[in-house]
């Protein structure tokens, strides 16, 4: 599969002395490990300068049948082996446009932007569409991404791509228009407090009737809110709606 990639896919190996945050919290790997145990998604830390995974969680979704240590040992060869061939060019494109986008952001703000995209990973000869979110942890002296945290979950979409960048603490996000090859800025969808209440109770496993009792409305009113939620999110069922709000940090 490596013939589908070229040298431009990954940032060049940095020279000694370019890492500006080398002395920052030495226990961040322990924090990352604790974080990974608290969520159902796969977590990894990628080191762009050494071209390897510094940390890989035990969650099987990202491992593609390997152990966490085996994935760490493979480093970037993992992508060559387990990214579906049809997504190889897409992955190169994502890396290029991500780099160009971050160059437009002030250096002191770059760690607040998260990249999200969907690609297929091949596990036991079966292609699985996953969503990957990458958030910078450390930057080089020149403001390039040195290390980033990746969080992997099952995608709620049906096709690869769906490239977006969001900024922490704001409603702004940018999605990449692959047809016109430009980033387009939009606002995240806004949910009412009542819609959030409905989603919270669904997340706790409550039925329509139980939710209606909890918030003192009729079951038909819950069905109305649910229908409006599906329309806003462009999803077809409550499982997809809950995945959407989780992935987009709306709940």
Range of the domain at 152: 2-187
Cα 79 to Cα 105: distance, rounded to the nearest angstrom: 28
Residues 41 and 128 in one domain: yes
Residues 34 and 126 in one domain: yes
Question: Kind and range of the H or E element at 125?
Answer: none
Residues 9 and 91 in one domain: yes
Which pLDDT does position 51 carry in this prediction?
Answer: 83
Residues 179 and 214 in one domain: no
Classify 32 in phi/psi space as left (phi over 0), alpha (psi -120 to 50) or beta.
alpha
Which of 162, 187, 212 represents a domain boundary (last residue)?
187
Q: Residue 75: which CATH number? A: 3.30.450.20
Which of 157, 187, 217 represents a domain boundary (last residue)?
187
Residues 53 and 138 in one domain: yes
Residues 102 and 172 in one domain: yes
Q: Which sign, positive or negative, has the C-alpha torsion 130, 135, 137, 141?
A: positive
**Tens digits of pLDDT across the chain (251 residues):** 444 555 445 555 444 444 544 445 458 888 898 988 888 889 999 998 888 999 999 999 899 999 999 999 998 899 889 999 889 889 889 989 998 999 999 999 999 999 999 999 998 889 999 999 999 999 988 888 999 999 998 887 889 999 999 888 777 789 999 889 999 987 777 888 888 899 999 989 999 999 999 999 999 999 999 988 888 887 778 888 887 787 667 77
How many domains does the chain divide into? 2
CA distances from 117 to 82, 138, 214, 215, 224 (A): 16, 21, 36, 36, 31
Residues 182 and 96 in one domain: yes
Which pLDDT does position 28 carry in this prediction?
Answer: 86
Where b means 16+ CB within 10 Å and e means fewer, 61-79 reads: bbbbebebeebbebbbebb
Residues 200 and 182 in one domain: no
Residues 183 and 198 in one domain: no
DSSP, collapsed to helix, strand or coil, labels residue 194 as: helix
DSSP, collapsed to helix, strand or coil, labels residue 229 as: helix
Which pLDDT does position 9 carry in this prediction?
Answer: 52
DSSP, collapsed to helix, strand or coil, labels residue 175 as: strand
Ranges of H-type helices in 12-103: 28-38, 68-74, 77-82, 88-102
DSSP, collapsed to helix, strand or coil, labels residue 40 as: coil
- pTM of this structure: 0.72
Which of 187, 203, 236 represents a domain boundary (last residue)?
187
Cα 199 to Cα 215: distance, rounded to the nearest angstrom: 12
Beta strand pairing status for 113-123 and 52-56? Answer: unpaired
DSSP, collapsed to helix, strand or coil, labels residue 143 as: coil
Residues 114 and 50 in one domain: yes
Nearest to 118 by CA among 160, 63, 62, 165: 160
Q: Residue 210: which CATH number? A: 1.10.10.10
Residues 146 and 168 in one domain: yes
Count CA atoms closer than 13 A to 196's CA, side-chain side.
Answer: 9
Residue 139 near residue 146, CB atoms below 8 Å: yes
Residues 170 and 214 in one domain: no
3-state secondary structure 136-171: EEEEECCCCEEEEEEEEEECCCCCCEEEEEEECCCC
Which pLDDT does position 14 carry in this prediction?
Answer: 47
Which pLDDT does position 247 carry in this prediction?
Answer: 67
């Amino acid at each position: 599969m490596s013939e589908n990639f070229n040298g431009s896919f990954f940032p060049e190996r940095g020279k000694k002395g370019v890492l500006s945050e080398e002395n920052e919290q030495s226990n961040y790997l322990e924090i990352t490990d604790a974080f990974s145990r608290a969520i159902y998604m796969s977590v990894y830390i990628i080191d762009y300068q050494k071209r390897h995974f510094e940390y890989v969680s035990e969650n099987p979704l990202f491992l593609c049948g390997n152990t966490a240590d085996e994935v760490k040992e493979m480093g970037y060869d993992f992508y060559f082996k387990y990214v579906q061939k049809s997504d190889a060019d897409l992955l190169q494109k994502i890396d290029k446009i991500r780099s160009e986008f971050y160059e437009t952001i002030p250096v002191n703000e770059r760690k607040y932007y998260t990249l999200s995209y969907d690609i297929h990973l091949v596990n036991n000869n079966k292609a699985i569409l996953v969503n990957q979110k990458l958030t910078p942890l450390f930057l080089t002296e020149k403001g390039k991404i040195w290390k980033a945290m990746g969080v992997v979950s099952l995608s709620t979409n049906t096709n690869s791509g769906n490239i977006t960048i969001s900024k922490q603490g704001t409603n702004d996000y940018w999605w990449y228009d692959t047809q016109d090859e430009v980033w387009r800025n939009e606002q995240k969808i806004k949910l009412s407090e009542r819609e959030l209440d409905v989603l919270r109770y669904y997340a706790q496993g409550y039925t329509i009737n139980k939710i209606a009792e909890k918030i003192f409305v009729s079951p038909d009113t819950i069905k109305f809110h649910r229908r409006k939620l599906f329309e806003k999110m462009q999803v077809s069922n409550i499982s997809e709606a809950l995945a959407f709000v989780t992935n987009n940090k709306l709940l």
